[in-house]
Structure 1
Amino acid sequence: MLNIDIVADIVCPWCFIGKRRLETAIELVRRELPNFEYSTCWRPFFLNPDTPPEGEPYLPFLEQKFGGPAAVEALFERVREAGRAYGIDYAFEKISLRANTFQAHRLLYWAQQHGSADALIERLFVAQFQRGEQVGGGAVLVNIAAECGYPAAEVAAYLTSTADAALVLADAQEIRAMGVRMVPTFILEDQHVIVGAEDPAVLANAILQLAGAAK
């Protein structure tokens, strides 16, 4: 069993691509090691920690950050092109608010106490980048969790509490202290770090090296 930590933020489009590329890498690994098993741990990163709890207008933020509408559209197209190869059709035009992702990261933390959160984070990425849903909190997160099989009432009670809030913030601070500044970042067995949404072959080779089966 190989442990893979993925440092990511829900509002990072490259993290969605990184997830799909990791899945492709796992398929490549299993061609060499059919019985290969792994576990994932999604760890929190806040691309813009100053985002207000209610969110902020999406396009104005990006246009200010990247230098205007033309620069943002060029960025969008580059992401769209990269995503198409992995079955992702980005719908940036549906996004009205840039979400504060603290509650989403809390939900992921909670879900991972009950097993894999891969299906949940996939649904969160779909919500953010394909459906334009507000992933900052409230009923949207409860509904997403329920779609993924989690008990809605329990999730709602958790999200309205402060449970694990300090732990999630501490984990994000630990990630920063490790020097992580770009997402996605993959950490294999706490020792091999791969920064960025790398090509699946790069990820697969790193995994195979750790598994002692690299060619």
Structure 2
Amino acid sequence: MAEPSASLVIDVVSDVVCPWCFIGKRRLAAALAQRPDVAVTVNWRPFQLDPTIPRGGIDRKEYLRRKFGDDQRIAALHDHIRAAAADTGIAFRFEAIERSPNTLDAHRLIRWAHPLGVQDAVVERLFADYFLNGRDIGAPAVLAEAAASAGLDPAEVAARLATDEDEEAVREEIGTATRLGISGVPFFIFDGRYGVSGAQAPETLVEVIDRTLES
């Protein structure tokens, strides 16, 4: 295998209950596949679309109706997202989701995965659990399973989740994103210099990668 010709760090500010973040993750992967000679480190950074959701979560239908109104509008939003995801291979199963979780604990798990180099695997599993399988990714048992799938010790993760470890650290990181003006996700930061908002097409992300490496 040829040595990488360049290196790049991409920070992705994301929430694991954000369908556009799942789409953005797949589009980023497609973009990186077009630049195989670049050694890329992807760091997943926390964001909460709704930190007011109780830690135990809330009924999904109730939450969506309160936020968006009638079922017809909700169905239209879901159809729009499914259509947008056509190029990613994601088959969203919104109808399978029963709970809207608070994602603070999920972000703690993602944080703990970072030193072990398995953040991407954990994020992918959480997206799949939620959007493809309708699982409650606010539940400690579900998070422990996701951790185990990426090689973390599920018993250790469950024990850590039972404490308040890193809760403030995650909140502080979210606060930093907010102070930087990030109000929507996904948000991609390339080498700490260029920011791109939204689930942009792979071609757009490739352009930013090239611009970052050239500057």
Aligned length: 209
Where in structure 2 are the equivalents of 1:84-163 lying within 5 Å?
Answer: 84-163=86-165
CA contact (8 A) 2:118 2:150 kept: no
1:54 to 44, 53, 56: 56
- Asked if residue 199 in structure 1 is aligned to residue 205 in structure 2, the reply is no
In structure 1, the partner of 2:25 is 19
2:70 to 58, 68, 71: 68
**TM-score of the pair, normalised by structure 2:** 0.94
CA contact (8 A) 2:190 2:209 kept: yes
The Cα shift of 1:121 comes to 0.3
In structure 2, the partner of 1:8 is 14
Q: Unaligned regions of 5+ residues in structure 2, if any?
A: 1-6
CA distance in 1, matches of 2:192, 2:139: 30
Moved over 6 A (4+): none
CA contact (8 A) 1:63 1:71 kept: no
* 2:70 counterpart letter in structure 1: G
For residue 29 of structure 1, give the secondary structure of its aligned residue in structure 2. Answer: coil
The Cα shift of 1:63 comes to 2.1
The Cα shift of 1:84 comes to 2.7
* 1:47 counterpart letter in structure 2: L
CA distance in 2, matches of 1:63, 1:29: 42
- Identical-pair percentage: 39
In structure 1, the partner of 2:214 is 212
CA distance in 1, matches of 2:135, 2:189: 29
CA RMSD of aligned residues (A): 1.2
* 1:158 counterpart letter in structure 2: R
CA distance in 1, matches of 2:139, 2:46: 15
CA deviation profile, 1:75-132 (whole Å, cap 9, x unmatched): 1001111223211000011101101000000000011022141111000000110101
CA distance in 2, matches of 1:163, 1:87: 36
CA distance in 2, matches of 1:160, 1:86: 35
Q: Unaligned regions of 5+ residues in structure 1, if any?
A: none
CA deviation profile, 1:23-62 (whole Å, cap 9, x unmatched): 01111223xxxx2111111111110110001101112221
For residue 150 of structure 1, give the secondary structure of its aligned residue in structure 2. Answer: coil
1:41 to 34, 40, 43: 43
* 2:38 counterpart letter in structure 1: F
CA distance in 2, matches of 1:193, 1:13: 20
* 1:20 counterpart letter in structure 2: R
In structure 2, the partner of 1:168 is 170
The Cα shift of 1:64 comes to 2.3
The Cα shift of 1:18 comes to 0.3
CA distance in 2, matches of 1:60, 1:199: 32
